Chains A and B, each alone.
Chain A
Amino acid sequence: MIFFLTKGLLRDKYRSLFPLIVVTAGVALIVLLQAWIDGATGNMIENTARFKTGHVRVTTQASAKQSRHIPIDLSLTEVEHWLSILRDRHSSLYWKARTRFGGILDFPDEKGETSAQGPVVGLAVDLLSSDGMERNNLNLKNALIDGRLPRNPGEILVSDLFFKKLNLRLGQSATLISTDMEGGMAVHNFTVVGSINFGIQALDRGAILTDLTDVQQALNMIDASSEILGYFKGGFYQKDDALHIAKTFNLQFQNFEDLFSPVMKTMREQDELGKMYDLYESMTFLVIAAFVFIMAIVLWNTGLMSGMRRYGELGVRMALGESQGRIYRSLLAESLIIGVAGSFLGTLLALIPAYYLQVYGIDVSQMIQSNQGVLLSNVMRAQVTPLSFFIGFIPGVFATFLGALISGFGIYKRQTAELFKELET
């Protein structure tokens, strides 16, 4: 009987083609949207974690309260001690100290006179150690545009935009003018060995990258850093684990009386990333729910039209002795076939542009004016994940089934006593 019904489905385009087009289009849109939202969210979170928040972040309590202002004077002291504790107790994460700082970078000419100067935002990380973790974490190999990565103390990387704007050259001396941890003036000389482009507008405007030890010396921060970041070794943020680790750490070491005591925050707790992430998740859910609703209404309508077209057929089947329940079940089975086929086609159709958007992306750098909280890439990309392969099947099959479920109720309203009349008109 299933073969018989399938043959009918294939031959009757009104019964199969129109619902199939609706399901395919709906599913394709959902899959594409999910891949896009996933890509944009994932990219934003990954960037923010890599450059700013870590998966968890330890700072002083005072610094945590003013995290947007790079308060170098509120940095964490006894960093090696804290690193040792963290590595010992939470070995599921890599722990690295970093310092973010601000200042002016001055480029003198041969005579020692300023030839170029500009404000910079600096990031000091462990660039020189043999583990290469930070180099990998910041993807420096790919970000390097010109020159080489620092190999010796005193060497820095400058953002490519800044490099070109100030017409700099490799090997040029640069003087950082900033404030040290005690609030005094700090002046330190560096050598520019390379230019980098992270593809993130917020970083590429005027960033410099130095080794942590250099900045500790330059800004009088011996055994101090503005933060210690932790990254899960698996590479992925684990919400519950991060929360548990932060809670355990804070219970033991956070001292509300001492503003310089350490506090650990998870990625979600920083810069309202959690809210933003939840918002994206809600958006995805809402989009899917809206599509299911709209598709169910369209398919319900299609089911009603199909029911009217097939009024005679269903009547004949009842006259032949097929029970109303069995006819209803067969309509649901047909809807399942349409739902599965439409979901398959829609998914396939969406994965092609989604993959294209994953590889090439869309350049949105012109639209990004300034962004303090999250780090958005210049090129937004979709992300094809395992979820992309089956997320469309949920609304695709469900909406089709729901549409048939509602429209099929009409079968039970039909009076067999009217069959002769109905089938003779």
Chain B
Amino acid sequence: MSGEPIISIHHLNKKFPMAGGNFYALSQINLSFQTAEFAGLVGPSGSGKTTLLNLIGTLDRASEGEIKILGKELGQLSTKEAAEMRMKVLGFIFQTHNLLPIYTVYENVELPLLLLKWQASDRHKAVMKTLDWVGLTDKVKSRPPQLSGGQCQRAAIARVMVKGPGIVLADEPTANLDAENSHSVLQTMKRLNQELKTTFLFSTHDEKVIRYLDRKITLEDGKIIEDEIQNK
């Protein structure tokens, strides 16, 4: 790996006050991710995977240490700047698709661009292109309840990818899908990672996901116990 990392983490601690002292959810984390990595945080429940995703996603603040995204130290960002970082640079994929049921697939995918105040014609081009990537051009006018679980998750991926984020954070994105849909969704993400050079960072303990990762970082009790490159 070479060049300026897109994410760099130094001496990161996250502690929560508890009776009789502090509980360290993350302890002395040092990591960096290059552009277009397809990496995953792996470990059992309570190992600190989601906490780390929260911190990288500007949804929470570190107790000690620093996280930099594109050279910007997240601890220095105001709430508004953090929201702007999420809007422009980051994308989230959740276990459940969280599509808005009253809007069509097209409108759901369009939402991030509306927030970014894109022009209508640019929005239309970007939405159609993204839906083409995820294979949902025939479902433009469908609403989420009319789609299968896999199609919904692909629409959720389109909603993240439409704005061209530098980093996508995915928390157990296939947890609610069957094996076939899981592979389809993972293949879609892998393809986007390769074609668009988007950095994907997963939090998972699903073997199906782990097999797709290029880099596997294993966490246990808030500490990194293994950081290995695979599939390359």
Interface residues, chain A, CB within 8 Å of chain B?
Answer: 1, 4, 7-8, 11-12, 312-313, 315-325, 416-417, 419-421, 423-424
- Knowing A4-B111, A321-B84, A322-B115 are in contact, say whether A316-B100 is a contact too (CB < 8 A): yes
Interface membership of B64, Cβ < 8 A: no
**The 7 A-B residue pairs with the shortest CB-CB distance in the complex, in nearest-first order:** A321-B87, A417-B60, A321-B86, A416-B59, A323-B83, A424-B95, A11-B102
> B102 contacts which chain A residues (CB < 8 A)?
8, 11-12
Over the window 190-227 of chain B, the binary record of Cβ atoms lying under 8 Å from chain A Cβ atoms (1 yes, 0 no) is: 00000000000000000000000000000000000000
CA distance A316 to B90 in the complex (A): 13
The CA-CA distance from A370 to B194 in the complex, in Å, is 93
Q: Which of these, B54, B85, B94, B172, contacts A321 with CB under 8 Å? A: B85
Inter-chain CA distance A33–B194, complex, in Å, is 68
Q: How close is B99's CB to chain A, nearest CB, in angstroms? A: 8
Once the chains are docked, how many angstroms separate the CA of A364 from the CA of B143? 58
Q: How far is the CB of B160 from chain A (nearest CB, A)?
A: 9
CA distance A103 to B84 in the complex (A): 89
Whether A7 and B111, one on each chain, are in contact in the complex, defined by CB atoms closer than 8 angstroms, is: no
B125 within 8 A of A: no
B115 touching A417, Cβ below 8 Å? no
Q: Are B87 and A417 in contact (CB under 8 A)?
A: no
B121 at the interface (CB under 8 A from A): no
Answer whether residue B34 sits at the interface, using C-beta atoms and an 8 A cutoff.
Answer: no
Contact B85 A420 (CB under 8 A): no
- Known contacts A7-B107, A321-B86, A424-B171; is A417 also within 8 Å of B54 by CB? yes
- In the assembled complex, the Cα of A87 lies from the Cα of B219 at a distance in Å of 100
Contacting pair B115 A319 (CB below 8 A): no
Interchain Cβ contacts under 8 Å between A and B, 17 examples: A4-B103, A4-B114, A11-B102, A317-B115, A319-B59, A321-B83, A322-B87, A322-B115, A323-B79, A323-B80, A324-B83, A416-B58, A417-B59, A417-B60, A423-B96, A423-B98, A424-B94
A4 to B171, CA, bound (A): 28
List chain B positions with a Cβ less than 8 A from chain A.
50, 53-54, 57-60, 79-80, 82-88, 90, 92, 94-96, 98, 100, 102-103, 107, 110-112, 114-115, 159, 171-172
- Interfacial chain B residues near A421, Cβ < 8 Å: 50
- Tell me the minimal C-beta distance from B115 to chain A in angstroms: 6
Residues of B within 8 A of A319 (CB): 57, 59, 86, 92
Report the minimal beta-carbon distance from A340 to chain B, rounded to whole angstroms: 21
Classify the secondary structure of A's interface with B.
helix
Collect the chain A residues with CB atoms within 8 Å of residue B114's CB: 1, 4
- Note all chain A residues with C-beta closer than 8 A to B103: 4, 7-8, 11
**Extra A-B contacts (14), CB below 8 Å, given A417-B60, A421-B50, A423-B94:** A4-B107, A11-B102, A315-B98, A316-B98, A317-B115, A319-B57, A319-B92, A321-B86, A322-B83, A322-B115, A324-B83, A325-B80, A420-B50, A423-B98
Kindly provide the distance from the CB of B168 to the nearest chain A CB, expressed in whole angstroms: 12
| In the complex with contacts A8-B103, A420-B171, A320-B87 CB distance below 8 A | yes
Neighbouring A residues of B60 by C-beta, 8 Å = 416-417
| Closest-CB distance, A425 to chain B (whole angstroms) | 8
Query: In the complex, what distance in Å separates the CA atom of A301 from the CA atom of B100?
Result: 22
B85 to chain A, nearest CB (A): 7
Pick the contact of A312: B85, B92, B98 (CB < 8 A).
B98
Chain B residues in 8 Å Cβ range of A420: 50, 53-54, 59, 92, 94, 171
Query: Known: A4-B107, A8-B103. Is A321-B115 also a contact (CB below 8 A)?
Result: yes
Residues in chain A near residue B95, CB distance under 8 A = 423-424
Query: What is the CB-to-nearest-CB distance from A319 to chain B, in angstroms, rounded to a whole number?
Result: 5
Chain B residues positioned under 8 Å from A325 (CB to CB): 80
The one of B53, B86, B172 that contacts A320, using a Cβ cutoff of 8 Å: B86
Asked whether A320 lies within 8 Å of B112 as measured between CB atoms, the reply is yes
**How many Å lie between the Cα of A419 and that of B103 in the bound state?**
21
* CB of B221 to closest CB in A, whole Å: 19
| List of B residues within 8 angstroms of A4 by Cβ | 103, 107, 110-111, 114
Residue of A nearest to B60 (CB): A417
Partner of A424, one of B83, B85, B87, B172: B172
Q: Are A419 and B85 in contact (CB under 8 A)?
A: no
Which one of A1, A312, A320, A419 has the greatest number of beta carbons of chain B within 10 Å? A320
CB distance from B154 to the nearest CB of A (A): 16
Cα distance, A4 to B98, chains bound together (Å): 17
Give chain A residues whose Cβ lies under 8 Å from the Cβ of B87.
Answer: 320-322
Complex CA distance for A321 and B80, rounded to whole angstroms? 9
A385 to chain B, nearest CB (A): 41
Q: How far is the CA of A12 from the CA of B103 in the complex (A)?
A: 10
Chain B: minimal CB distance from A420 (Å): 5
B59 touches A419 (CB 8 A): yes
* Identity of the chain B residue whose Cβ is nearest the Cβ of A310 in the assembled complex: B100
Q: How far is the CA of A318 from the CA of B80 in the complex (A)?
A: 11
CB-defined contacts of A323 to chain B, threshold 8 Å: 79-80, 83
- How close is A230's CB to chain B, nearest CB, in angstroms? 65
Q: Which residue of A has the minimal Cβ distance to B82?
A: A416
Give complex CA distance A8, B159 in Å. Answer: 17
